A = this chain, B = another copy of it.
Amino acid sequence: MTPVNLKSLAEELNMSIATVSRALRDSHEVSEATKQRVRALAAARHYEPNAYASSLRRNISKTIGVVIPKVANHFFALAINGIEEAARQAGYHVLIYLTHDDYAREVSIVQHLKGGRVDGLLMSVASGTEDFAHIKSLREANIPIVFFDRVCAEVATAKVTTNDYESGYQATEHLIQAGCQHIAHLLISNNLSIGQFRQQGYLDALAAHGRLADPDLILHGVMDNQQNVGLIRELLLRRPDIDGIFASVERLAISAYHVCNELGRRIPQDIKIIGFSNLEAASLLDPPLSTITQPAYDIGREAAKILLRAVEKKKAVLPSQSVVLESTLFQRRSTAQG
């Protein structure tokens, strides 16, 4: 089977490769009649331009990369959904990479992407990441980057986040209003910006109601969920006075549910729980889980749009283009009074 490319089309049409190329790109320098002929044959032969040749020549890949910790998580899944939508509309392709919250893997991925495989990058940094040299080097390679959700404060670029501080404050206040006296806070990594903001909201809300923050009530979760269950169990046994839990991430809220079931603590009578979550079935849990839900789809879509605008105009993304979207607190039975 002979390959179908510009050359073969040109030969069959008795014209130059240049003319065929221009006709297909709808250049004004080629007559309408010729365009018709070219397009007709291209369609007949099912011509598809070689993306790599084009990318090489134009130094444009029409591809963006997405680097995230994991995909088996409703938040990131929805974000990808938004990203893919924005990319598709702009005619871009989406490469996906998972770090599994592993710093070394993140570095390796970013290094490889400097080869020009992508025109731009969307990223939610791994929780283990503390050094950002690899990301900064991307900027030297002139590859624009936009952070979403888990941003890197040290890098001057656009970031798409949610109002994490306010949400943390709001969630904590919600528990206080519901009558909780001793509120625990479960979070993952505290070098993650979002963790810091949410925690600050938690602390400030406590302070605003005259409560003093107890460091013993702040639990740092780990990667492994099984291990988290153990940590939470230990916490609840050590501090039986805990009557409210604010989980900074979905997994921890779920683990807390399991522990409460196991220990026979009734939700919400004995302990009230609220957590960040994009779980669709939150309202079907036993009891329905009160959540702070981030607009994940919009976050992804917005981040992609900002990136693509920069890519198209070949301009750097500016920190000033950052966007903060609002999360929504859904009050359900897990934080009901009494």
Contact = CB atoms under 8 A, between A and B. Distances in A.
A280 B117 CA distance: 35
A287 B281 CA distance: 12
Nearest to A61: B52
Interface string A85-97: 1001000011111
A51 interface: yes
A81 B70 CA distance: 8
B285 A116 contact: no
Contact of A96 (B84, B141, B280): B84
Given A50-B56, A286-B285, A93 B78 contact: no
Given A93-B117, A114-B46, A285-B281, A84 B56 contact: no
A140 interface: yes
Given A48-B115, A56-B52, A80 B96 contact: yes
A98 B112 contact: no
Given A71-B77, A77-B77, A94-B95, A114 B56 contact: no
B81 A72 contact: yes
A53 interface: yes
Contacts of A261: 284
B116 A50 contact: yes
A6 to B, nearest CB: 12
A80 B77 CA distance: 10
A95 B93 contact: yes
B140 A1 contact: yes
A231 interface: no
A48 to B, nearest CB: 4
The residue in A53, A72, A96 that gathers the most chain B C-beta atoms within 10 A of its C-beta is: A72
B78 A72 contact: yes
Contacts of A279: 281
Nearest to A65: B93
B56 A53 contact: yes
Interface of A: 1, 46, 48-53, 55-56, 61, 63, 70-74, 77-78, 80-81, 84-85, 88, 93-98, 111-112, 114-117, 137, 140-141, 254, 257-258, 261, 279-281, 284-288, 297
Closest 8 CB pairs of A and B: A286-B286, A48-B115, A52-B55, A52-B56, A72-B77, A51-B117, A48-B114, A52-B52
